[in-house]
């Protein structure tokens, strides 16, 4: 099939105005939500956990909104559009990962914890060392992930709205996320994520329908068109490839296996996802919210078939490369099929996507610092003044925002930060997950084990990234892009050896209590009254 060519009806300036208008409409809506949330965000439970009154389907949408980053929306669509099948295979792990969340983590966490991942670990272990390590790991994961999002946001807004500079975009995104979190806390963050999920799904469904309309809604016609996609190779020759064939992008299978480990086991250790389960009334609602999230996330990634492959077939890789590359495949497809208004809408969706994720990261970092580090490590679990914990969280959110803006501006739009996302997942899988799993299932597990597991997982993930092909261009010491294949077994090994070399009878005694709490919900934190 020949790539279609589309006349550009409107001058770019007008597209800019429409897109800017939609950006501003979204921002205005979120600020109204923040205003109303601010009045309800009184007290720790309201501020950190939205009063635990979010319903199952709402939290499912919010988890999806917290999770699906611009990298998965625009990045995966672009990977499929330029290299076919391999991009689609990449997207599978993002859904399968939720089986780990559903089976192992969501319900025990909700039953035994209060505001953070560390609550579950501190239960039966000595709280101060465990919380200090867990907080360090949470801050590392959240800040790495945040910087990746911020640099991506700046680069993206620049492509979508050329009138806005990289620095302006980074500052804009950073200021908005700080405003949501400082004033609106978890309630505002939740609603920003819900609106984003609805917008993202609407945009994806509409885009998929427009693509399929071009193929008279025949799935076979659609897939037939993918068997011969022509593009220009690096040496200038024309090549025709079957885009359903694996191996056009990924060359080393071990890279995919290692990345798969990081995704499938790391998602259940991502602090910004885990804290969402504290916003619902009980463990049963936490369960139903994972199921809702799986429906939404699964449908979304299946739809990448239509708009990712659709862009390959209808626009062609050469057109996409000439119009902004990977990240622009979905917006350009929207422009080609639905005009400048739809392009502007998809751009606004991408912007909403970024904001929802960075807001989730900001509140996860600030909750962990305030609750784990400030209240529990420094102040031994007591608030010296009422409302102190929330105040510390607000200040932390501000500092995290300022830091992220600063780092993103220093790095600039050209630095490739994709590895930071892989690193965040790797740390989550190698440090957080072993500690969580062993804490729930292993009676013998103790404080030394948790601190060793968290430490070894964190340090080995970072160290292996530094000697990976992303950093050492020639002859990397570690051959894989994602460290999880080695760092995750190391994290488990650290946790197990640390445990076996020490004795801590109190941790074994308290295991009984955790076991009962995690499995029955007895004594779990309750939702606040209206």
Partner 1 sequence: MRLAIARDMSSPDNAPAAPDWDAIARDPAFRILLADKIKFLVPATIFFVIYYFALPVLVGFYPEFMSREVFGSLNLAYLFALSQFFMAWILAGLYVVVARRWDRDSDAVLKKLGR
List contacts with partner 1 (CB under 8 A): 85, 88-89, 92-93, 95-96, 98-100, 102-104, 114, 119, 122-123, 127, 220, 223-224, 226-227, 242, 244-247, 250, 252-254, 256-257, 260, 264, 284, 287-288, 290-291, 294-295, 298, 301-302, 305, 376, 381-382, 512-513, 515-517, 519-523, 525-526
Q: How far from 450 is each of 108, 132, 173, CA to CA, in Å? A: 17, 11, 36
**CB-wise, 158 or 517, nearer to partner 1?**
517
**CB-wise, 18 or 437, nearer to partner 1?**
437
CA–CA dist 316, 34 (Å, integer): 42
**CB-wise, 127 or 203, nearer to partner 1?**
127
Q: Closest separation between CB of residue 219 and partner 1, Å?
A: 9
**CB-wise, 162 or 381, nearer to partner 1?**
381
Q: Closest separation between CB of residue 119 and partner 1, Å?
A: 7
CA–CA dist 473, 479 (Å, integer): 11
Name the burial class of residue 227, with classes exposed (0-12), middle (13-18) and buried (19+) by CB atoms within 10 angstroms of its CB. Answer: middle
CA–CA dist 182, 176 (Å, integer): 10
Distance from CA of residue 162 to its chain's centroid?
26
**CB-wise, 385 or 473, nearer to partner 1?**
385
Q: Closest separation between CB of residue 254 and partner 1, Å?
A: 8
Q: How far from 225 is each of 5, 85, 307, CA to CA, in Å? A: 16, 14, 14
**CB-wise, 280 or 417, nearer to partner 1?**
280
Q: Closest separation between CB of residue 443 and partner 1, Å?
A: 11
Q: Closest separation between CB of residue 58 and partner 1, Å?
A: 18
CA–CA dist 104, 438 (Å, integer): 11
Q: Closest separation between CB of residue 442 and partner 1, Å?
A: 13
504: left (phi over 0), alpha (psi -120 to 50) or beta: beta
24, 30, 32, 35 alpha-carbon torsion, rounded to 10°: -130
Q: Closest separation between CB of residue 107 and partner 1, Å?
A: 8
Do 130 and 121 form a contact (C-beta atoms < 8 A)? yes
Do 290 and 101 form a contact (C-beta atoms < 8 A)? yes
CA–CA dist 334, 210 (Å, integer): 9
Q: Closest separation between CB of residue 399 and partner 1, Å?
A: 25
**CB-wise, 85 or 166, nearer to partner 1?**
85
**CB-wise, 100 or 404, nearer to partner 1?**
100
Do 297 and 64 form a contact (C-beta atoms < 8 A)? yes
Q: Closest separation between CB of residue 294 and partner 1, Å?
A: 5
Q: Are strands 238-241 and 229-232 parallel, antiparallel or unpaired?
A: antiparallel
CA–CA dist 239, 311 (Å, integer): 17
Q: Closest separation between CB of residue 273 and partner 1, Å?
A: 16
**CB-wise, 98 or 145, nearer to partner 1?**
98
Do 447 and 126 form a contact (C-beta atoms < 8 A)? yes
- Residue closest to 73 by CA, chosen among 283, 346, 316, 291: 346
**CB-wise, 90 or 419, nearer to partner 1?**
90
């Amino acid at each position: 099939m020949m790539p279609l060519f589309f006349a550009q009806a409107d001058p770019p300036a007008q597209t800019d105005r429409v897109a800017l208008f939609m950006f501003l409409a979204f921002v205005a809506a979120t600020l109204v939500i923040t205003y109303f949330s601010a009045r309800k965000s009184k007290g720790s439970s309201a501020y950190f956990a939205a009063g635990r009154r979010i319903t199952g389907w709402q939290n499912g949408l919010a988890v999806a909104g917290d999770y699906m980053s611009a990298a998965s929306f625009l990045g995966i669509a672009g990977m499929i559009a330029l290299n076919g099948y391999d991009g689609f295979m990449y997207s599978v792990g993002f859904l399968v990962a939720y089986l780990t969340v559903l089976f192992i983590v969501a319900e025990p966490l909700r039953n035994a914890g209060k505001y953070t991942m560390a609550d579950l670990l501190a239960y039966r272990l000595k709280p101060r060392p465990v919380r200090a390590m867990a907080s360090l790991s949470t801050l590392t994961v959240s800040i790495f992930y945040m910087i990746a999002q911020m640099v991506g946001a700046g680069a993206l807004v620049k492509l979508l709205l050329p009138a806005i500079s990289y620095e302006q975009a980074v500052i804009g995104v950073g200021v908005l996320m700080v405003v949501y979190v400082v004033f609106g806390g978890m309630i505002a963050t939740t609603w920003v994520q819900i609106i984003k999920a609805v917008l993202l799904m609407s945009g994806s469904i509409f885009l998929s329908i427009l693509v399929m309309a071009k193929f008279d809604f025949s799935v076979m016609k659609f897939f037939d068109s993918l068997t011969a996609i022509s593009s220009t190779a690096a040496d200038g020759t024309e090549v025709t490839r079957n885009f359903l064939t694996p191996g056009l992008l990924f060359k080393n299978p071990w890279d995919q296996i290692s990345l798969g480990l990081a995704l499938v086991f790391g998602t259940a250790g991502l602090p910004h996802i885990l804290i969402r389960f504290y916003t619902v009334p009980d463990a049963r609602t936490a369960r139903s919210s994972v199921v809702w999230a799986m429906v939404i996330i699964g449908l979304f990634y299946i739809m990448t078939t239509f708009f990712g492959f659709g862009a390959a077939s209808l626009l062609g890789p050469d057109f996409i490369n000439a119009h902004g590359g990977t990240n622009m495949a979905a917006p350009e497809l929207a422009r080609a099929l639905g005009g400048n208004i739809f392009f502007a809408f998809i751009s606004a969706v991408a912007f909403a996507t970024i904001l929802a994720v960075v807001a989730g990261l900001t509140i996860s970092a600030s909750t962990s610092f305030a609750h784990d580090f400030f209240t529990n490590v420094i102040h031994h679990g007591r608030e010296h003044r009422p409302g102190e914990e929330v105040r510390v969280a607000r200040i932390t959110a501000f500092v995290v925002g300022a830091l992220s803006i600063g780092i993103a501006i220093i790095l600039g739009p050209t630095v490739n930060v994709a590895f930071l996302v892989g690193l965040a997942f790797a740390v989550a899988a190698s440090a957080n997950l072993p500690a969580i799993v062993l804490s729930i299932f292993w009676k013998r597990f103790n404080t030394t084990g948790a601190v060793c597991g968290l430490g070894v997982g964190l340090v080995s993930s970072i160290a292996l990234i530094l000697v990976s092909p992303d950093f050492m261009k020639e002859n990397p010491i570690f051959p894989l892009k994602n460290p999880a294949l080695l760092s995750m077994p190391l994290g488990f090994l650290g946790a197990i050896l640390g445990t076996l070399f020490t004795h801590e009878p109190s941790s074994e005694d308290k295991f009984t209590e955790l076991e009962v709490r995690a499995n029955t919900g007895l004594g779990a934190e309750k939702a606040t009254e209206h």
